[in-house]
Amino acid sequence: MNKKQLVNLGVPKDCVPEAIAAIQTLPRTREGAKKLIPKVVAAPEVYVADPDLGLFAKALIEFHENDVPLSSIAYSKWGEDFDEFSIQQIENACKLPVARGAALMPDAHSGYGLPIGGVLACENAVIPYGVGVDIACRMKLTITDLDVQTLEQNDPAKCRELDRSLEKGTLFGAGRKWKRPHDHEVLDEDWTITAITRQVRDKAVGQLGTSGSGNHFVEWGVVTLAEGDFGLEAGTYVGLLSHSGSRGPGAMTCKRYTDIARQGAPSRIKDDPQLRHLCWLDMDSEAGQEYWAAMNLMGRFASANHEVIHRYVTKLAGAKSLATIENHHNFAWLEKHDGQDVYVHRKGATPAGEGDLGVIPGNMADAAFIVRGKGNAKSLNSASHGAGRAMSRTAAKKKFSWGSWRDHLKHKNVRLLAGGLDEVPGAYKNIHDVMAAQQDLVDVVGQFMPKIVMMCGDGSRAED
């Protein structure tokens, strides 16, 4: 008798292995499985002591004890411009039995499992896809001593060193790696803590100091500080801003532990198309502890990745660092909320506890904002991680051409060295609307206006 036949007889999918084992041990003197199995399903307590069917009966009883209906916790949201899928995804996450708090940021749009811009607090559980594929994707801003007037004029003839620093200082594209790798102390850490981190170390060596594809970028721009901060006087400065994460090693780590989470998840979660990306790892389990260790190593690797990029790019540009601001998004933190220890997943959301510094970017032509968190408990001390997509990459490529956007970038005095049509400003929400929607989450303490932008090209050319 196969799985499909057993399910048709009323056996829950989680109990199929025990049903098969019971059938295989049934003596010939007993009636057939097609008659016995429905009887055990209907009244498992009657068969608990049965020498042939007892284990199957106990599995059924345990399944029904744990199979309580999914309830839903409440969540808070900021902003109004949400697609229906992101709303559905945060509501699905709120149904998880481990969910204890949730919030939706104003840049939210649909992702896998938890929406981008989704925040979810879980009790004693971590969700690999709640963190995301690009573990510890993050922002870093370096404020430098370079001449701001040169960048404000943005004359290609006068900015050749800055252009070259972006073109030579990092690599863009999926799978790209250095032929002559950079060095960093993160590579001296113990990468044997899990099987997957041991496996990805060589990839990490080659990809340290690289930027990937998609919405990742490295760009020069003008930083404006209205008031003195970070040990600097009020005024304008040249800044270097980057956005990237843990590259291939992070993606492979996510995939490995998502697969493990699904193997141990209840059928009603892993077999539900809307919930299957929300399978979790119990933090009392070996797999949960392994993921936590691997995730944090990926966080340190992502931080090192930015450090290497900024070190190399500023060196090529002849710049000196005056101050830095940086933050993760796509990560999970063990925090205390409402007196309870919970694992807070911020998938495309910026930590915004009281006093926390961060950078929230707009798009290749509009401002990024330097922010200081207010510690709003309703948002689980979180804010947006950017402007958020207004449409998918596929839709953007179908809708836009470089004609109008080339003029738009020129009007904004922005030079795009490389980038794709799926990343033009029109593909994103208005960053000023997003910031206006979260005034109770962060204070703006400065802004960065992009001037020279480097991203992963898509074969089209903005400068033609």
Q: Where are the domains of the chain?
A: 3-66, 136-245+290-326+352-374+387-455
pTM of the model: 0.85
Residue 196 has pLDDT above 70, yes or no: yes
pLDDT band at 464 (very low <50, low <70, confident <90, very high): very low
Question: Looking at residues 214-230, what average pLDDT do you find?
Answer: 95
End-to-end alpha carbon distance in the chain: 66
- Binding-site residue positions: 134, 215-219, 243, 329-330, 361-364, 385-388
For this structure, is 64 an active site residue?
A: no
Question: Looking at residues 432-444, what average pLDDT do you find?
Answer: 98
State residue 69's pLDDT score.
61
- From residue 439, alpha-carbon distances to 76, 315, 374 in Å are 15, 37, 9
**Contact assessment for residue 166 and residue 452, using Cβ atoms and an 8 Å cutoff:** yes
Question: Looking at residues 35-45, what average pLDDT do you find?
Answer: 92
- Binding-site residue positions for GMP: 215-219, 329-330, 361-364, 385-388
State residue 265's pLDDT score.
87
State residue 1's pLDDT score.
81
- From residue 225, alpha-carbon distances to 105, 231, 413, 457 in Å are 25, 11, 20, 32
Residue 390 has pLDDT above 90, yes or no: yes
Residue 353 has pLDDT above 80, yes or no: yes
The single residue of 310, 385, 411, 432 carrying the catalytic annotation is: 385
Please provide the average confidence, as pLDDT, over all residues in the chain: 94
Residue 85 has pLDDT above 50, yes or no: yes
State residue 459's pLDDT score.
56
Q: Which long-range contacts (CB under 8 A, 24 or more apart) does 8-14 make?
A: 9/34, 9/37, 9/38, 9/41, 10/37, 10/38, 10/41, 10/42, 11/37, 11/41, 12/60, 12/63, 12/67, 12/267, 13/267, 13/271, 14/59, 14/63, 14/266, 14/267
pLDDT band at 405 (very low <50, low <70, confident <90, very high): very high
Question: Looking at residues 340-358, what average pLDDT do you find?
Answer: 98
- C-alpha–C-alpha distance, residues 351 and 375, integer Å: 9
Question: Looking at residues 434-450, what average pLDDT do you find?
Answer: 98
CA angle 137, 143, 145 (to 5 degrees): 150
Mean pLDDT check: name the lowest of 63-67, 150-154, 244-248, 319-323.
63-67
Question: Looking at residues 383-410, what average pLDDT do you find?
Answer: 94
- From residue 190, alpha-carbon distances to 194, 289, 294, 300, 308 in Å are 9, 15, 10, 12, 20
- C-alpha–C-alpha distance, residues 8 and 82, integer Å: 40
pLDDT band at 68 (very low <50, low <70, confident <90, very high): low
CATH architecture type of domain 136-245+290-326+352-374+387-455? Alpha-Beta Complex (3.90)
State residue 323's pLDDT score.
97
State residue 463's pLDDT score.
36
Structure tokens at 258: 């998502």
- How far is C-alpha 175 from the chain's CA centre? 18
Mean pLDDT check: name the lowest of 18-32, 139-153, 292-306.
18-32
Q: What is the pLDDT of residues 88-116, one digit of tens each?
A: 999 999 999 999 999 999 999 999 889 99
State residue 264's pLDDT score.
86
Residue 29 has pLDDT above 90, yes or no: no
Q: What is the pLDDT of residues 156-173, one digit of tens each?
A: 999 999 999 999 999 999
Residue 15 has pLDDT above 50, yes or no: yes
Q: What is the pLDDT of residues 257-308, one digit of tens each?
A: 999 999 988 878 888 888 999 999 999 999 999 999 999 999 999 999 999 9
State residue 270's pLDDT score.
86
- C-alpha–C-alpha distance, residues 360 and 338, integer Å: 27
Q: What is the pLDDT of residues 247-258, one digit of tens each?
A: 999 999 999 999
pLDDT band at 67 (very low <50, low <70, confident <90, very high): low
Residue 66 has pLDDT above 80, yes or no: no
Question: Looking at residues 236-248, what average pLDDT do you find?
Answer: 97
Structure tokens at 301: 């690797």
- Binding-site residue positions for Mn(2+): 134, 216, 243, 329
